[in-house]
Amino acid sequence: EWTPAAFVQETVSRIKAQVGDKKVVMALSGGVDSTVAAELIHKAIGGNLYCVFVDNGLLRKNEFETVLDSYKHMGLNVKGVNAKDLFYGQLSGVKDPEEKRKIIGRLFIEVFQQESAELKDIAFLGQGTIYPDVIESVSVNGPSATIKSHHNVGGLPEKMKMGLVEPLRFLFKDEVRRVGKEIGISDIFLARHPFPGPGLAIRILGDITPEKVTMLQEADAVWIDNLKESGLYNQVWQAGTILLPVQSVGVMGDERTYEFTVALRAVTSTDGMTADWAHLPYEFLAKVSNDIINKVKGINRVVYDISSKPPATIEWE
Ligand code: XMP
């Protein structure tokens, strides 16, 4: 019978045997998988694990600072890299969703390689790959059809020539959470909703500007804070906001406004492959709508996405 305790013990000794006294470099994303993987590797080899956490400017409000801080508290040897301007610069004027994903994936690898190159004698690359990533990257990137290219699986160039350390490769998400709990990882990470690697870039339909990112971060923070305060956060699989490339007329005091629309998305699911829109209370949605329109400058309309997957996807891009 599989138990988290036995898995941890076995995995830590396997990593020790694999890595010995060599060094491992690893990118952290703030998500459950990379965090649990890093902590397992850290348990095995301590300070020989070097972590890199990149701010691509497309994370949630205050996410980079908060998460970096938590990593440091966990004792991880982590370097935070501010690469916002690089990402904003390269994404400027880009509207196509797949193009956005490709640019973000490429820049991420560039930044990560640059950081790794500054470290001497790195022999291994650590990754938080879990079993569904392995399956999905086969089917998503297979010959049949590219639905959405997930940039954070595999994809590191040949020339990095490093061995792979992937402690979670055969685990499902709920097992990863149980392992995380076993090794004392904070609920900040364990109870967190999934968040796509390309971040807010694929929740800003059309072209991305730093101003739009800020607007969406504010709206998203109101949405997520309300979900948490009302105890609904843990009842949904994933939630987020989408900034639509649409301006519409509104009225504020006795002024006519012409501003953006935000769509709220919340879904229930067990694996993200299929999903139902979350049937949240009207009163709750009304409060969120008011809060967003009152607090976030540039938004005068809020809509709720009532589409399920399939045929809609969870993300809008
Ligand atoms: P969709 O939109 O395909 O999303 O229903 C299913 C799950 O995958 C996440 N997602 C991504 N994750 N890189 C990621 O790491 C991506 O490019 C990407 N696209 C979608 C999405 O947030 C949801 O949890």
Whether 57 and 121 map to the same domain: the answer is: yes
Q: What is the per-residue pLDDT for 145?
A: 42
- Name the residue at shortest CA distance from atom 18 of ligand 1: 196
Residue 264 has pLDDT above 90, yes or no: yes
Cβ pair 242, 199 in contact under 8 A: no
pLDDT in tens, 268-277: 999 889 999 9
Q: What is the DSSP string of 192-203?
A: PPP--TTGGGGG
Domain end residue (candidates: 155, 190, 225)? 190
Whether 140 and 215 map to the same domain: the answer is: no
Residue 312 lies in a domain: no
Q: What is the per-residue pLDDT for 159?
A: 58
Whether 129 and 214 map to the same domain: the answer is: no
pLDDT in tens, 175-192: 999 999 999 999 989 999
- For position 286, which CATH number holds? 3.30.300.10
Q: What is the per-residue pLDDT for 234?
A: 96
Ligand 1 atom nearest to 237, measured from its CA: 24
Cβ pair 129, 169 in contact under 8 A: yes
Residue 95 has pLDDT above 80, yes or no: yes
Question: Which residues contact ligand 1 via a Cβ below 6 A?
Answer: 101, 148, 150-152, 194, 196-198, 238, 272, 309, 313-315
- Name the residue at shortest CA distance from atom 22 of ligand 1: 196
Annotated binding residues for ATP, written as ranges, equal 29-35
Structural domains in the chain (count): 2
Domain end residue (candidates: 157, 190, 223)? 190
Residue 146 has pLDDT above 50, yes or no: no
Residue 84 lies in a domain: yes
Whether 236 and 152 map to the same domain: the answer is: no
Outline where DSSP puts E strands in 83-222: 122-126, 163-165
CA-to-CA distance for 263 and 304, rounded, in angstroms?
Answer: 6
Instruction: Choose the residue to mutate in 106, 315, 317 for probing ligand 1, maximizing ligand atoms within 8 Å of C-beta.
Output: 315
Q: What is the per-residue pLDDT for 141?
A: 43
- Name the residue at shortest CA distance from atom 19 of ligand 1: 196
Whether 100 and 181 map to the same domain: the answer is: yes
Whether 246 and 107 map to the same domain: the answer is: no
Residue 19 lies in a domain: yes
Token match 């022999």: residue? 123
pLDDT in tens, 236-255: 999 999 999 999 999 988 99
Whether 232 and 182 map to the same domain: the answer is: no
Outline where DSSP puts E strands in the chain: 23-28, 49-55, 78-82, 122-126, 163-165, 238-252, 255-268, 276-277, 299-304
Residue 313 CA, ligand 1 centroid: distance in Å: 9
pLDDT in tens, 22-67: 999 999 999 999 999 999 999 999 999 999 999 999 999 999 999 9
96-100, 148-152, 268-272: which is most confident: 96-100
Residue 280 lies in a domain: yes
Share of the chain above pLDDT 70, in %: 92
Residue 250 β-bridge partners: 257
Nearest by Cα to 295 from 226, 196, 203: 226
- Name the residue at shortest CA distance from atom 3 of ligand 1: 313
ipTM above 0.95, yes or no: yes
Residue 199 lies in a domain: no
Q: Which of 119-133, 150-164, 194-208 has the lowest mean pLDDT?
A: 150-164
Whether 165 and 239 map to the same domain: the answer is: no
- For position 78, which CATH number holds? 3.40.50.620
Residue 248 lies in a domain: yes
99: left (phi over 0), alpha (psi -120 to 50) or beta: alpha
Q: Which domain holds residue 137?
A: 4-190
Whether 44 and 94 map to the same domain: the answer is: yes
Residue 256 lies in a domain: yes
Q: Which of 112-116, 158-162, 216-220 has the lowest mean pLDDT?
A: 158-162
Instruction: Choose the residue to mutate in 34, 101, 148, 270 for probing ligand 1, maximizing ligand atoms within 8 Å of C-beta.
Output: 148
